[in-house]
């Protein structure tokens, strides 16, 4: 997916100061800055030509230096009687990501009005390679820019505006590991929380990580109001090594300690996510191990049934099993929610739709992959740690599956 020339910058990469500088550079009238910002974040326009507050000359001048949207194409699919909208987005260079918009009715019991959440992607593909995740199976394609992340939110806002609704929450739970693309993710959070741009409170933003410890530490320092979710999946290292290959670099104890430090620094409770996989991480022993590592921490546990993905033989745990585990955790004093997966009908979990579009690996590779997982999980369940991680079977391979910096 190499690009012949770099695309023009996206206008959503610029804040008011940036737009003001651009307007001066282009010789446009000063008052245009506020108009532009308003058009980018609060209008129904999808192109410069659609920004009716600007003169034709201003539209053309701007179109020559900045893209109004960084998305090349957007395919929309509405499921669950319109409660969920999936957006399959093609970015410059052909990288595909997805964003999922979820609408929730008011919940008077919890004193909540109507809500709408957009689940955004921070990378095309992901280098971490969790074997139950469709994105992990794809491997890593590239990092998204802040503008590309913010444009997923702008799309959601436009869709909702057409329905007379408002976007209330943003979760970084789409494709990619946000803390391995930290600077653009932080810049996008700045745009989303800027009252003149996204206008969303930091507390209404969730960053979900598979456990990039330095990233968790930095997030606590620089954006302390953002909510942290940690994808734990298993509390014992041999199994977590398999489920979240990054665990070989930052093992369970370090991840939980970083989350606890985050909670202390920020005063915000951490959510721990556990994708429930039948016969793999859903036994009483697994719950006991979770209790052991989370005891005393200010945390909440989300149990989520696994969505099936092509490359693994694994399936979701039964509803009854998930309830039993939830009860066991609650009995030990942990706060627990059992979550239903939104958008399952369209294969929404974590890049499934984009993975399908990327093409299916040959049946022999899938069969081999499944065999490897059976052997590896049998060893992990007996508490054996294997020295090497399983490489994803997808069409692309990560450059550094254990990389922990800003760029994988």
Nearer to ligand SF4, 135 or 312 (CB): 135
Question: Residue 139: what are its φ and ψ, rounded to 5°?
Answer: 80, -175
Q: Tell me which of 119, 130, 133, 350 is the catalytic residue.
A: 350
Binding site for ligand SAH (CB under 6 A): 126, 132-133, 173, 177, 208-210, 231, 273, 275, 304, 306-307, 309, 349-350
- Return the residues of window 203-242 that contact ligand SF4 according to CB under 6 A: 210, 231
146 contacts which partner out of ligand SF4, ligand SAH, none, CB within 5 to 8 A by kind? Answer: none
Closest CB 359 distance from ligand SF4, rounded Å: 18
Burial degree of 30 (CB within 10 A; 0-12, 13-18, 19+): exposed
Length of the chain measured in residues: 408
By the rule CB under 6 A, 129 interacts with ligand SF4: yes
Closest CB 34 distance from ligand SF4, rounded Å: 38
Nearer to ligand SAH, 241 or 273 (CB): 273
307 contacts which partner out of ligand SF4, ligand SAH, none, CB within 5 to 8 A by kind? Answer: ligand SAH
- Return the residues of window 341-400 that contact ligand SF4 according to CB under 6 A: 350
Q: Tell me which of 98, 137, 148, 177 is the catalytic residue.
A: 98
Strand-pair partners of 335: 300
Closest CB 196 distance from ligand SAH, rounded Å: 28
145 contacts which partner out of ligand SAH, ligand SF4, none, CB within 5 to 8 A by kind? Answer: none
Question: Residue 349: what are its φ and ψ, rounded to 5°?
Answer: -60, 115
CA pair distance 292, 383, nearest whole angstrom: 16
130 assigned to active site = no
CA dihedral of residues 170, 151, 212, 373 (deg, nearest 10) = 90
Q: Of residues 14, 120, 126, 322, which one binds ligand SF4 by CB under 6 A?
A: 126
CA pair distance 36, 294, nearest whole angstrom: 48
25 assigned to active site = no
CA pair distance 62, 37, nearest whole angstrom: 12
61 contacts which partner out of ligand SAH, ligand SF4, none, CB within 5 to 8 A by kind? Answer: none
Closest CB 39 distance from ligand SAH, rounded Å: 31
Residue from 67, 32, 69 nearest 53 by CA: 32
As a whole number of angstroms, the longest Cα–Cα distance in the chain is 70
CB atoms under 10 Å from CB of 47, counted, come to: 11
Closest CB 176 distance from ligand SF4, rounded Å: 6
CA pair distance 152, 118, nearest whole angstrom: 8
Q: Of residues 33, 59, 71, 135, which one binds ligand SF4 by CB under 6 A?
A: 135
Give the interface segment with ligand SF4, choosing from 122-130, 260-268, 307-315, 366-374 (CB under 6 A): 122-130
Closest CB 177 distance from ligand SF4, rounded Å: 4
CA dihedral of residues 201, 147, 179, 339 (deg, nearest 10) = 60
Residue from 293, 299, 290 nearest 269 by CA: 299
Give the interface segment with ligand SF4, choosing from 50-58, 133-141, 153-161, 281-289 (CB under 6 A): 133-141
CA pair distance 59, 67, nearest whole angstrom: 11
CA pair distance 179, 193, nearest whole angstrom: 18
CA pair distance 219, 111, nearest whole angstrom: 29
129 contacts which partner out of ligand SAH, ligand SF4, none, CB within 5 to 8 A by kind? Answer: ligand SF4
Note the residues at the interface with ligand SF4 (CB under 6 A).
Answer: 126, 128-130, 133, 135-136, 175-177, 210, 231, 350
What is the set of active-site residues? Answer: 98, 350
């Amino acid at each position: 997916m190499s690009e012949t020339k770099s695309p023009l910058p996206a206008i959503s990469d610029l804040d008011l100061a940036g737009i003001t500088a651009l307007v001066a550079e282009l010789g446009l009238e000063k008052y245009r800055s506020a108009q532009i910002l308003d058009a980018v974040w609060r209008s129904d326009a999808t192109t410069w030509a659609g920004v009716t507050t600007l003169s034709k000359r201003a539209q053309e001048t701007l179109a020559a230096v900045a893209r109004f949207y960084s998305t090349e194409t957007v395919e929309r699919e509405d499921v669950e009687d319109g409660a969920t909208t999936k957006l399959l987005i093609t970015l410059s260079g052909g990288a595909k990501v997805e964003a999922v918009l979820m609408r929730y009715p008011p919940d008077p019991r919890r004193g909540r009005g109507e809500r709408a959440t957009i689940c955004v992607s921070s990378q095309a593909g992901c280098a971490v390679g969790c074997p139950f995740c469709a994105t992990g199976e794809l491997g890593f394609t590239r990092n998204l820019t802040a503008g590309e992340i913010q444009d997923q939110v702008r799309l959601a806002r436009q869709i909702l505006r057409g329905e007379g609704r408002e976007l209330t929450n943003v979760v970084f739970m789409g494709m990619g590991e946000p803390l391995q693309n930290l600077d653009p993710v932080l810049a996008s959070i700045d745009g989303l929380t800027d009252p003149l741009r996204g206008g969303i409170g930091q507390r209404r933003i969730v960053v979900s990580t598979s456990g990039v410890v330095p990233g968790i530490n930095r997030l606590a320092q620089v954006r302390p109001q953002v909510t942290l979710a940690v994808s734990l999946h298993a509390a014992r290292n041999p199994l977590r090594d398999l489920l979240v290959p990054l665990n070989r670099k930052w093992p369970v104890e370090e991840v939980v300690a970083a989350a606890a430090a985050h909670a202390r620094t920020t005063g915000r409770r951490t959510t721990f996510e556990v994708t429930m996989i039948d016969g793999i991480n859903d036994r009483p022993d697994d719950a006991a191990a979770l209790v052991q590592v989370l005891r005393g921490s200010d945390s909440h546990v989300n149990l989520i049934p696994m969505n099936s993905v092509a490359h693994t033989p694994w399936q979701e745990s039964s509803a009854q099993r998930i309830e039993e585990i939830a009860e066991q955790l609650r009995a030990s004093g942990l706060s627990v929610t059992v979550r239903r997966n939104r958008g399952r009908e369209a294969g929404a979990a974590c890049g499934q739709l984009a993975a399908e579009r990327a093409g299916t690996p040959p049946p022999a590779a899938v069969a081999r992959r499944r065999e490897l997982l059976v052997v590896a999980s049998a060893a992990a369940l007996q508490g054996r740690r294997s020295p090497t991680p399983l490489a994803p079977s997808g069409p692309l391979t990560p450059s550094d599956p254990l990389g922990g910096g800003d760029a994988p």
